Amino acid sequence: MTDALISQPLRARIVVTGVGLVSPLGLNLCTSWAGIMAGRSGAAPITRFDPKDYQTTFAAEVKDFDPVERMGRKDARRTDRYTHFAVAAALEALEHAQFAITETNADRVGVLMGSGMGGAETLDVGMETVLREGPGRLSPFFMPMFLGNMAAGTVAIMTGARGPNYAPVSACASSAHAIGEAAEIIRRGDADVMIAGGSEAPIARMVVAGFNAMGALSTRNDDPAAASRPFDAERDGFVLGEGGAALILESPEHAAARGARVLAELTGYASTDDANHMVQPAPGGSGAAKAMGLALKRAGIVPNAVGYINAHGTSTQLNEKFETEAIKAAFGGAAYDVPISSTKSMTGHLLGAAGALEAAFAIMAMTEGTLPPTINQTMPDPDCDLDYVPNGSRRADVNHVMSNSMGFGGHNVSLIFSRFRN
């Protein structure tokens, strides 16, 4: 594999020094990555509500998570589950980066936490309360609990970060946008350190019913572990997942000054839109292909330098067909040589949190020298004829990894992380 460079404008460098995760495979980075390496599915029957009347009765839930351990009882009760995940991921990422927010540096630390759905469970419960008991019974915390920016705001409250803070909302590209835009905030000098990522807790009645109504969810109720099967010919829809992920971003100079370990460098970020359809990708994956091409250009590398792609790979018919075509358009002949996998085959689809979770897995693939598998590959699809690392992880020494995210509304984001070199 070559590591050829192409000319690029000089831009300030951004590195990753910490990662935190809460996923259906584990409550932290270590256990989540172990689940990925084992090829374990997080899908199981829904326990967040009674799904007996629903077309889909399973999801990839986070198990045994106690927000009180991270936030205390009072704050946990006054915030939604999606906020709990954001706080837990952010706290782990800060610990992993060995970075402490103090009165001295707090104004220079920002937070971007994206979410596609916000407080879905709070909305569900609030609606039932109003309909059954009347509007006077609604909790005074209802409004702040469901707002899509409250995870970002609460992370700042819990950590003391007083720098730039907002919540990108671009459906399933939200947290990928958060990472890319957090890097731009550092580049323009508005922060020294950014906590960037996303969170989602969408396993609620209206969300499941809504995705069922549009035919987006798998209905493989008899075998949830086999339901998420990206790029497989028998895929029948995605598996809803929940969790959160956060990265710590800073400049190499800032990291060096505090003696931090650098995990990776964010070398490429690009965002486009299909301008085509509310939910369907553009034919041929043209918008996603442009995002990948721009990310490669900004990273200053040629396509065959990329050693691994973490694909959006939702396990829906149109996504995998068009994403495969997009990779071919962006990579040319190199598309057949680059290993690609969808970790959604194991975690399910975390919607707005998916991009950050999968960026973390892409970084781990590079730092650990092992590529995640795409599980449940049993029936080849002639429209999906690339190397999807089927059914088992693979050892590989790679210097550049790509993570792709696509969201309803036509949003596309491509991130490239590279092995850091001084």
Every domain of the chain and the residues it spans? 15-257, 270-418
Residues belonging to the active site? 172, 312, 349
pLDDT digit string, tens, across residues 280-300 = 777 888 899 999 999 999 999
335 Cβ contact partners less than 8 Å away, ≥ 6 residues apart = 303, 327, 328, 386
Q: Which architecture, in CATH terms, is 270-418?
A: 3-Layer(aba) Sandwich (3.40)
Output the pTM of the full model: 0.95
pLDDT digit string, tens, across residues 71-123 = 999 999 999 999 999 999 999 999 999 999 999 999 999 999 999 999 999 99
> Are the C-beta atoms of residues 18 and 265 closer than 8 Å to each other?
no
pLDDT digit string, tens, across residues 10-56 = 579 999 999 999 999 999 999 999 999 999 999 999 999 999 999 99
| Cβ-based neighbour number of residue 48 at 10 Å | 19
Q: What is the DSSP letter of 334?
A: G
pLDDT digit string, tens, across residues 174-192 = 999 999 999 999 999 999 9
Lowest mean pLDDT among 49-58, 75-84, 272-281, 314-323: 272-281
Q: Which architecture, in CATH terms, is 15-257?
A: 3-Layer(aba) Sandwich (3.40)
| Domains 15-257 and 270-418 are alike in CATH topology | yes
8 Cβ contact partners less than 8 Å away, ≥ 6 residues apart = 297, 298, 299, 300
pLDDT digit string, tens, across residues 227-249 = 999 999 999 999 999 999 999 99
pLDDT for res 422: 81
Q: What are the Cα distances from residue 182, in Å, to 145, 175, 309, 361, 402?
A: 24, 10, 22, 19, 17
Determine what percent of the chain is predicted with pLDDT higher than 90: 92
Return the structure tokens found at 284. Answer: 């041929």
